[in-house]
Amino acid sequence: MIRPSINTFILLFALISLPTSAASNPTTHEFSLDNGLKVIVREDHRAPIVVSQLWYKVGSSYEVPGSTGLAHALEHMMFKGSSKLGPGESSRILRELGANENAFTSDDYTAYYQVLARDRLEVALEMEADRLASLTLPEDEFLREIEVIKEERRMRTDDRPSGLAYERFKALAYPASSYHIPTIGWMHDLERMTIEDLRQWHNDWYAPNNAVLVIVGDVQLDEIKTLVKRHFAAIPARQIPVAKTPIELAEPGERRLTLHLKTQLPSLMLGFNVPSLKTAENQKDIHALRLISALLDGGDSARLTSQLERKQELVAGASAWYDAFSRGDSLFVLSATPNVQKGVSLESVEQALWQQLKDLQTNPPTQAELKRVRAQVIAAEVYAQDSINNQARMIGMLETAGLSWRLLESDVDSLNAITATDIQSAAQRYFTASRSITLHSLPEETRP
């Protein structure tokens, strides 16, 4: 194959200007009811539709050993009736209205959403308010639904090697914080969960002062204020248990785990205990880690793909990710599958990942590479505005992490302020053996 000369290539792209700032910020409003319900409204008038998401500040990281899976199980039971609604009735009504509805639970939050024609928003709000204020929680429905949840666990975790590996990885990666609890819950805890546990959970956490309502779409602030007050204002505020931040040991020590799973190929995960934007003393570290994640795995030109996959052909695939927006201390994770067709071992892939991290510690990234990563980040913020669901989701995640949605407006500036030296020093600080956890997933057949 003919290689182009590097010079012509640089010339072609040197003259163009790079994207420097995102689109103008969308109009966003914030207000609170007297009972503490926080409401964030973002206007997007491209189409006459709206998404409503009600986020509760409670998730699996609020659970304790022995009672895992409660946040997620309650999410399921929120569809089983309240004072105005029979079991499954809200779903049937929303279906007839042509709405798209669902819910999701994670470590830090439980959220419920409806996407629908804008003139039907009030129905969604009325039903959401009803199940916040007066959930029925019938026992016969629970006894069926807990079986559904066990099926969900079998499908997502027990029968899926990657799901099982990640569950065990997290359990070991967080020795001190409640992030070691799997959101779906351990099977033995699902077996002993009772309807009384869920009644207590709803009673403890489901109050207007522990929720954030996010509405994005073709709406005006005044109409939203009227509707939200009409349906939520009468729900009294309640005392919420103190939720302590999931703090992790800074340097728990080097941890290694080997699993033999129903998998055909070996694979590897390498994680590091790192802070999040919420827990960090120095926020620059966090933005530097976000850029490192993009340098390693931000696209086809990123280092893991171009170096390990294309150039050295050591991996069939590799990735890096970092959740900067959790309410507690977080993880920076790399994963890889070796190129077994070329006879590459898990050990050499592990070394190669460390080599990539050492390179970041020794050599600052070039200005060209940094510019490219920033261009991607800025463009991605524009593309994210194409989906009202994603916009609402980003706002809800920040708010339930104890951060403000306003961070979105200054995010590009925060990332632009990070220098090559900041990246180098973050790599030096966090990619150490004593912060690391290494998981080898091996085929069951290779068990000694």
Partner 1 sequence: MMQRLISFSLLLVIGLSISGCSLSTTQPQDSKITSLQRLNVDAPARRILDIQTWQTASGTTVFFVQSDELPMLDLQLTFAAGSSQEGAAYGLAQLTNFLIGAGTNKYNADQIAQAFEALGAEFNQGSYRDMAILSLRTLSTAELSQPAVELFAEVITRPNFPVQAIQRVQNQLLASFEQQKKIPSHIANRALFAQLYGTHPYAHPSAGTEQTIPRLKRQQLADFYQTYYNAHNAQLALVGNLTRQDAEAIAEQISRALPQGVAASKTPQPQTPKATHLHIEFPSNQTHILLAQLGIERGHPDYAALFIANQILGGSGFGSRLMEEVREKRGLTYGIYSSFSPMQAQGPFTISVQTRAELSEATLGFVRELLSEYVQNGPTEAELATAKQEFLGSFPLSAASNAAIVGQLGAIGFYDLPLNWLETLMQDVQQLTLEQLNTALRNHIQPDALVVVTVGPSVPQLPLPEPVIRNAQPQGHQH
For partner 1, give the closer residue by CB, 255 or 423: 423
**Alpha-carbon gap, residue 125 to 119, rounded angstroms:** 12
For partner 1, give the closer residue by CB, 303 or 435: 303
Residue-wise DSSP of 118-147: GGGHHHHHHHHHHHHH-B---HHHHHHHHH
Contact 121, 227 (CB under 8 A): yes
Q: How far is the CB of 38 from partner 1 (least distance, A)?
A: 22
Residue-wise DSSP of 8-42: HHHHHHHSSPPP-S-SPPPPEEEEE-TT--EEEEE
Q: Is 224 exposed, middle or buried (0-12, 13-18, 19+ CB in 10 A)?
A: buried
Active site residue 167: no
Q: 344 vs 69, 155, 333, 374, CA distance in Å?
A: 39, 31, 21, 33
**CA–centroid distance for 321 within its chain:** 11
Q: How far is the CB of 306 from partner 1 (least distance, A)?
A: 5
Q: Which two tokens stand for residue 79?
A: 């569809």
Q: How far is the CB of 447 from partner 1 (least distance, A)?
A: 14
Give, in degrees to the nearest 5, the angle at Cα 324 between 434 and 354: 40
**Alpha-carbon gap, residue 314 to 346, rounded angstroms:** 10
Give, in degrees to the nearest 5, the angle at Cα 86 between 83 and 89: 120
Give, in degrees to the nearest 5, the angle at Cα 437 between 400 and 347: 135
Q: 356 vs 271, 304, 338, 352, 365, CA distance in Å?
A: 14, 8, 15, 6, 12
Give which of 120, 71, 70, 78 is closest to 100, Cα–Cα. Answer: 120
Catalytic one of 63, 75, 101, 167: 75
SS3 299: coil
For partner 1, give the closer residue by CB, 330 or 436: 330
Contact 184, 153 (CB under 8 A): yes
Q: Which two tokens stand for residue 350?
A: 């592990």
Active centre residues (catalytic): 75
